[in-house]
Amino acid sequence: MSAASPRRPSMRRPVAAAATVVMVAVGVTGLVSCGDDYNGSTSSSYPSPRPTPPETASFSGDVPSALASGAASARAAASAAASSASAAASALESSISAEVGRANEEAADELKDVKGGGNAKADVTLRGKPVAETGGLRAVIVNITNSTDEEASYAVQVDFRDSSGKVVESRVVGAQDLAPGKSAQPLAISRKPADLNLTPTVAKAQRY
């Protein structure tokens, strides 16, 4: 019986053990790597939230735009009131006789070359007419009396002044062929809104 040949030591166990060590090492490295990623810089793993811009669609407009809109509305209202007053004054004047209209036109021409207050301011007085009788307009009765002993015509300019004394409007009326001692009472009608505080004054009065 032949002697048994010596058995070689098996290499499987060392190889298996080595593989197990490698796998454990890889696992530990992976865990360390995960731990580093989690415990590292917060800004790299979890960036800070950025501020969210406001919803501009919910804005109703900024203050300058609102102020500009209010100013524009006020100007539009003032313009509408002035246009309404001017239209009403035109309607009232158109109801006056054509003869009075011609007298006023002639008076305006006569006053073009008059210097100073004219030669007949003493013959003219003013009296307000109730707005209830003029459709809400400011109208002044211009009382003209011929103080001479001859027939004469008159041209009168009425200025409307504000509270500071500034002239904001002028109207011209006339009276033709007044006999001595006779009077005429034409109307000077303002085209400005009646709620303005205006004072009428005789600026010029010319006898011719």
Q: For the chain, how many structural domains are there in total?
A: 1
CATH of the domain at 135: 2.60.40
Q: Is 203:157 a contact under the CB 8 Å cutoff?
A: yes
Q: Is residue 33 part of a domain?
A: no
Among the listed residues 195, 186, 129, 130, the one whose alpha carbon sits nearest the alpha carbon of residue 157: 186
Answer yes or no: is 115 within a domain: yes
The residues near 163 (Cβ < 8 Å, ≥ 6 apart) are 197
C-alpha to C-alpha distance for 156 and 175, rounded to whole angstroms: 9
User: So what's the pLDDT on residue 166?
Assistant: 96
Tell me the residue range of the domain where 186 lies: 68-207
Task: Look at residue 143 in the predicted model and tell me its pLDDT.
Answer: 98
| Assigned domain for 146 exists | yes
Is residue 30, in this structure, part of any structural domain at all? no
Rg (CA), the chain: 51
* Residue 81 within a domain: yes
115-162 pLDDT, tens digit per residue, is: 999 999 999 999 999 888 888 888 999 999 999 999 999 999 999 999
For the chain, the straight-line distance linking the first and the last C-alpha, in angstroms and rounded, comes to: 175
